[in-house]
Structure 1
Amino acid sequence: MYWTLACLYGASAVGLGAFGAHGLKKVVSDPAKIANWSTAAHYQLVHSVALLVAAQVQNPISDVLFTTGMTFFSGSLYLLVLNPARFRFLGPVTPLGGLCLIGGWVALALK
């Protein structure tokens, strides 16, 4: 299951990154927000590969932490860039996602 999820997260990271590079400027003009979008796509792509590794070595803790981390970190950034007023409540979710990503790496190291 995590192998498939990692592939889907990787594919969507490429698509969202391409949208950020080519279409987002039509919706968002703030360069800082565009940079945040790029960071979200970059972290999602890198951690999709990490999730592939975790799935291959059968590390269920890393699987969960990487999946949660990508969803919280990148997902909250995407939504905050698109509509910061509506999704302001997600601000604290971003660092929690980052902690999950860090935890995923630590769990992978301890396998």
Structure 2
Amino acid sequence: MLTTYPNPAFLWRVGALLTTAGVIAGAFGAHGLKRRPGITPDNIHAWETAAHYTIYNGLSLLLISLHPRFSTHRFAGPAIATGGFIFSSTIVALVLNRERFKALGPITPMGGALMIAGYLSLAF
């Protein structure tokens, strides 16, 4: 059955996947990323930010999926998931190869704005 809003099970799965991806990214950042040539302390910090936000958004989606009202909110969950993915994945791409992915730089704040809009929509 096709619905016009996300269902709680979908949000739960997306939240679990984002949290897992954030933990994996954090582990790679702590152990494997430092071995790559050209990685600076600023790159490590940016990577950590991306990993942390991926975990925060994943955990948030897990919680939202349990809420009786917000688990079917038409905007909040999808905006948090999409915005968080765009925000974090563009940072990761820029850390791994800034020259190749420099066009993604201006997209990062758009992902952040969408993520923020998703959280704000929970207040109304």
Alignment partner of 2:20 out of 5, 11, 35: 11
Alignment partner of 1:29 out of 34, 39, 56: 39
Q: What is the TM-score normalised by the length of structure 1?
A: 0.93
1:15 Cα deviation from its structure 2 partner: 0.6
Q: What is the TM-score normalised by the length of structure 2?
A: 0.84
Cα distance between partner residues in 2 of 1:86 and 1:60: 35
1:19 Cα deviation from its structure 2 partner: 0.5
Identity among equivalent pairs (%): 39
Judged with a 3 Å threshold, the aligned counterparts in structure 2 of structure 1 residues 89 and 75 are, in CA distance, closer, same or farther, namely: same
What is the correspondence of 1:67-82 to structure 2 with a 5 Å cutoff?
A: 67-82=81-96
Contact 1:37 1:78 in 2 (8 A): yes
Q: Deviations over 1:27-70 (max 9, x none)?
A: 14311011000000011111111112222231231111111111
Cα distance between partner residues in 1 of 2:79 and 2:52: 17
Question: Which has a greater percent of helix?
Answer: 1
Contact 1:76 1:94 in 2 (8 A): yes
1:100 Cα deviation from its structure 2 partner: 1.2
Deviant stretches of 4+, over 2 Å:
53-57
Give unmatched runs, 5+ long, in structure 1: none
Pairwise CA RMSD: 1.1
Which has the larger Rg?
A: 2
* Residues 1:56 and 2:66 aligned together: yes
**AA aligned opposite 2:15:** A
Judged with a 3 Å threshold, the aligned counterparts in structure 2 of structure 1 residues 60 and 52 are, in CA distance, closer, same or farther, namely: farther
